[in-house]
Structure formats: structure tokens, C-alpha cells
């Protein structure tokens, strides 16, 4: 599902920067979207996508709490207008109803949507 979304971004004139350097203070994915009526080389609308995995030894709430802090920090560094924290719950025995969710940001929090997969 994420790959299909990202392909549409590229096909529509956006750019995706993928970051593979672990622990270097960079986000997993940075979506750069041209502003209406401008080329991508001009100022763009930036959106951060950070991906996290919940395993047997890590709790979902801890991963979300730490992921939100990290995503907000990335957003500040690259001037992003929004952020998305994608959490893959790999713990055994979880139903799809438990794994798949969307949590919108609170009004007083950074604009980061949390997606469970």
C-alpha cells in the first residue's frame, strides 16, 4: 500500500528521497511536492515519513512515543509541513483490527499522523 502511494507521488511530479543511514539524524523518506504552479526545483512542500517496527520486546506505545519525537525533530530539520509515522506491528498473535489504525494529531501537537500496519 505504501509503495503504491509513493509511486503515485513520483508519477505526479513529486520527488522521494530515501534515507538508509541508520542513526545519522535523517528521516526514512522525505516527500518533496511542488507547490501549485511551480516546478519542483522551486520551493516545495515537504512531508516526512518515518517507519518503525514493533517487535516482541518493544511496546507499541513506546515505539509511537519515541517515533513521534523523532519525526518532529526530522520535520524541524527539513522544514516539513507534515509528518507520518508508519508503525509495522510484527508481534505474533495480533489481529488486523489491532494492527491497522490511523491516529490523527492532537490540535496542540506537531502535525504528525500515526499509521498502524
- E strand segments, 2-43: 15-18, 29-34
Calculate the average pLDDT of the chain.
Answer: 82
Instruction: Say how many domains are in the chain.
Output: 1
Cβ distance 73 to 112 under 8 Å?
no
**Is it the case that residue 106 has pLDDT exceeding 50?**
yes
Give 112: exposed, middle or buried? Use CB within 10 Å, 0-12, 13-18, 19+.
Answer: buried
Pairing mode, if any, of strands 44-54 and 29-34? Answer: antiparallel
Q: Residue-wise over 65-81: b if at least 16 C-beta within 10 A, else e?
A: eebbebbbebbeeeebe
Whose grid coordinates read 496542540? 108
| Tens digit of each residue's pLDDT (9 = 90 or more) over 48-95 | 889 999 988 889 999 999 999 999 998 988 888 899 999 999 999 999
Structural domain containing residue 55: 2-116
Amino acid at each position: 500500500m505504501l509503495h503504491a502511494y509513493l509511486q503515485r507521488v513520483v508519477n505526479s511530479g513529486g520527488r522521494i528521497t530515501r534515507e538508509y543511514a541508520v542513526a545519522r539524524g535523517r528521516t526514512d523518506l522525505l516527500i518533496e511536492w511542488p507547490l501549485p504552479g511551480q516546478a519542483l526545483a522551486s520551493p516545495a512542500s515537504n512531508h516526512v515519513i518515518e517507519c518503525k517496527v514493533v517487535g516482541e520486546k518493544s511496546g507499541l506505545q513506546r515505539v509511537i512515543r519515541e517515533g513521534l519525537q523523532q519525526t518532529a525533530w526530522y520535520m524541524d530539520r527539513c522544514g516539513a509541513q507534515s509528518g507520518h509515522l508508519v508503525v509495522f506491528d510484527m508481534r505474533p498473535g495480533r489481529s488486523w483490527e489491532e494492527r491497522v489504525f490511523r491516529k490523527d494529531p492532537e490540535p496542540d501537537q506537531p502535525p504528525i499522523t500515526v499509521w498502524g500496519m
